[in-house]
Amino acid sequence: MSAAAKSAAVLLVLFAITLVWRMPSSNEGAQAEFSVGLVFDVGGLGDKSFNDSAYLGLMRAKKELQIGTTTIEPGDGSDRAAALRMLAASGAGMVIGVGFIFTDDVLQVAGDYPKVAFVCLDMAVRDGQALPANVLGLKFKEEQGSFLAGVFAALVSQTKHVGFVGGMDIPLIHKFSAGYRAGVMAQCADCRVDVLFAGATPHAFKDPGKGREMALSQYQSGADIIFHAAGSTGLGVFQAAREQKRLAIGVDADQTSEAPEVVATSMVKRIDTAVFDAIARAKSRAFKGGVVSLGLKEDGLELARNATNAKFFTEERVAVLDAYRRKIVDGAIEVPSHD
């Protein structure tokens, strides 16, 4: 073996060791009849949002379906494909990439492991694009849930001035901002909607300091409630809301517990349910590749209601929200998915 080849082999081994070191595994993974591997998105476990919701679905499957589980946090994200490949090679029956950023990596690795089911959450699929039989792209109609969040913000706002803080400036996050703005304007035509994005790289989803800075600028200019779609960057929005004694709307999961004094509701994507259902189908050998898009009609989205925020969901407001929901489900309202 040449010196260069030896060096490459050593680097590959060291890289694999690094991934394993970051990889919390269940003790049942090796013994279980069916096992699932999951690679987290930027922000990782503990983001109180997208990643945590996917993890909840995985843990529900572990408990109810008696599967083995393995999770990986791929550092700065440059090793996503290697993480997916490691899980597939280790014997996992399903491998899940959490986030649109995994789109190309999933397609690349899935081609080498046709007997393994792959799932990509928020997969960036072009119109008419066909996926391999072993790849499932789970997408959500975020604009629909965000429309309801906008209606809610307009109903709650006392200043007729609301805000939106997005993470990475990409089409996916513009679905949130477009739907939100449409909902606000449908309910309050003379309301003002401020929109800001944290950046143009994945780091925009894990910068609470930037989230706080942007939210403060909106609150200080008159907004009294802000909806964020920014991953852990949104935790900075909650901090600004506390400081300014204003309100915020969470995203992906019910984020009330993160800041119960300021989070009026959250636009919940039922990522946990989508992950669980995909695992259940794969374990029962009913897995099908393709694209599945979940909206209000499929109960893939909802506004979080709980004991803490019940005061915001008055009978009159609920009636308004329900009426809009029915119109969207029935097709009477077509929510825009881009600005």
Q: What percent of the chain has pLDDT over 90?
A: 83
At residue 196, the pLDDT reads 98
Quick check: 3 pLDDT over 90?
no
DSSP assignment of 40-63 equals --TT-TT-SSHHHHHHHHHHHHHH
Q: What is the pLDDT averaged over residues 140-151?
A: 98
What distance lies between CA 2 and its chain's CA centroid? Answer: 45
At residue 258, the pLDDT reads 93
Give the position of tokens 């009330």.
Answer: 256
Q: What percent of the chain has pLDDT over 70?
A: 89
At residue 29, the pLDDT reads 41
What's the predicted TM-score (pTM) here?
Answer: 0.85
Residue-range domains of the chain with CATH: 29-140+271-294 (3.40.50.2300), 142-269+305-330 (3.40.50.2300)
Alpha carbons 158 and 313: distance in angstroms, whole number = 15
What distance lies between CA 215 and its chain's CA centroid? Answer: 20
Quick check: 18 pLDDT over 70?
no
Phi-psi category of residue 46: left, alpha or beta, with phi > 0 → left and psi -120 to 50 → alpha: left
- Helical H runs in 192-245? 208-220, 234-244
User: What radius of gyration do the chain's Cα atoms show?
Assistant: 21
Give 297-333 pLDDT, tens digit per residue: 999 999 999 999 999 999 999 999 999 999 999 999 9
At residue 235, the pLDDT reads 95
Give 209-251 pLDDT, tens digit per residue: 999 999 999 999 999 999 999 999 999 999 999 999 999 999 9
Mean of all residue pLDDT scores within the chain: 90
Going by pLDDT thresholds of 50, 70 and 90, the confidence category of residue 283 is very high
Q: Which two tokens stand for residue 102?
A: 């995994």
How does 223-249 read in b/e, with b if 16+ C-beta sit within 10 Å?
bbbbbbbbbbbbbbbbbbbeebebbbb
Alpha carbons 95 and 110: distance in angstroms, whole number = 9
**In 188-328, which ranges are E strands?**
192-199, 225-229, 247-252, 263-269, 290-294, 301-303
Quick check: 6 pLDDT over 60?
no
Q: What is the pLDDT averaged over residues 166-193?
A: 97
At residue 273, the pLDDT reads 96
At residue 165, the pLDDT reads 98
Quick check: 30 pLDDT over 90?
no
Question: What is the identity of the amino acid at 286?
Answer: A
Give the position of tokens 């029962």.
Answer: 284
- Higher pLDDT among residues 77 and 66, named by residue: 66
- Higher pLDDT among residues 273 and 79, named by residue: 273
Alpha carbons 160 and 224: distance in angstroms, whole number = 8
Alpha carbons 233 and 225: distance in angstroms, whole number = 16
Nearest to 279 by CA among 175, 125, 136, 91: 136
Quick check: 169 pLDDT over 70?
yes
HSE at residue 198, side-chain half, CA atoms within 13 A, is: 29
At residue 28, the pLDDT reads 42
